[in-house]
Amino acid sequence: MVKTGSINMAKAIRRIGHRSGQARKMTFYRTAIQSKDNYGIESDTVAAGNEGLTIPNIDAFIAPIVTSTDSFTRAGHTVVGSASIYIPALSTIKNNILGISASGAHNARLSSFNELESKDILYDMEKIIYSADAPTNDNSYTLPSNTSGFEVDRLQFKVTAIGSPNRITTVVITDSAGKTLTWTFDSSTNFDNAKYHIVDLPLTDVSASDKAYYIYVPSSGATGIRTVTATIGSSFDIKDVDGETITLSSVVITSNTAGMTTKDLHLYKAGEWRINAIKEYRDEYMELACAKIRGERGSRRRAY
């Protein structure tokens, strides 16, 4: 809640967005925290309550310091940058985006998101490779015949239900060679008809059995963190999809029962901003000193 006389940063960023492309919608990401054994060695088990966090649709204003600079390292050329990013206070993000009040069952489930930490990541839709307002047919999106994938990092879409809670079962990305990447959701309810929920998943550098996470805030009851598991069919690698010899064919989203509606599908190249320092103005806004980790140059993605 914004107090009288305070800066409503979320509202200010939305207004700036009508005039400047520096106002963005970003996705917050934090990796899962694994348990440790009695000797302090991390195991493959994710500690309860410390699953990874993925929170899309955060209002942000980017003030570039260095848009990009080319560095030569042992692994090759990498492109990096730096910027100050302004976002609303954490309480505003939890309340406005997730619908979580300052106390209660919702807040308890997301106790790991009570503060930002250095090395947390904000993803920006740097370049949208493909977008669709509505599915081609029954939550299936047929992509144009020349759609490439080597620049695609992530996928985002909105989902809701008609009449009752439901759950996404799979999201399947298929290329023209018949190779697939399938994200399979766990068996818990993950969306309802109270609002549209935003799902954001990685598509690049994904291996079999990799995990992704999605926050479900129901209209009533406690918040849940849903686990999504990757399955690779026929050695699918989106970096091999050059748009000529191999193209992306379709994205198909399936549900447990009828009544699911999806919209606003985006396949996008992500600008990865890693948080290095945080200046918090309490209940008003935060200023984040971020480094942009772009990885290899764009021309090299296609060549390699």
Q: Which residues of 142-151 are buried (b: 16+ CB within 10 A; e: fewer)?
A: ebeeebbbbb
**pLDDT confidence of residue 210:** 93
Report residue 148's pLDDT band, with 50, 70 and 90 as the boundaries. Answer: very high
In tens, the pLDDT along 129-146 reads: 999 999 999 999 999 999
pLDDT for the residue 163: 83
* Higher pLDDT pick, 294 / 86: 86
Binning pLDDT at 50, 70 and 90, where does residue 19 land?
confident
**pLDDT score of 70 more than 80:** no
In contact, 9 and 284? CB cutoff 8 Å: yes
State the CB neighbour count (10 A cutoff) for residue 167: 20
Q: Is the pLDDT of residue 221 over 80?
A: no
| pTM for the structure as a whole | 0.88
Residue with token string 């606003």: 264
Mean pLDDT of 192-197: 89
Average pLDDT over residues 84-108: 75
Is 84:66 a contact under the CB 8 Å cutoff? no
| Measured distance CA(180)–CA(205) in Å, rounded | 14
DSSP, collapsed to helix, strand or coil, labels residue 268 as strand
Which DSSP string do the residues of 163-225 spell out, in sequence order? SS-B-EEEEEEEETTS-EEEEEE-SS--B-SSSPEEEEEE-SS--TT-EEEEEE--SSS--EE
Q: How confident is the model at residue 64 (pLDDT cuts 50, 70, 90)?
A: confident
State residue 206's pLDDT score. Answer: 95
Which amino acid is present at 61? F
- CA 89 to the chain's CA centroid: 19
Cα separation values, 244 from 91, 140, 184, 240, 303, Å: 47, 22, 29, 10, 13
244 pLDDT exceeds 70?
Answer: yes
**Closest-CA residue to 186 (of 225, 219, 129, 243):** 225
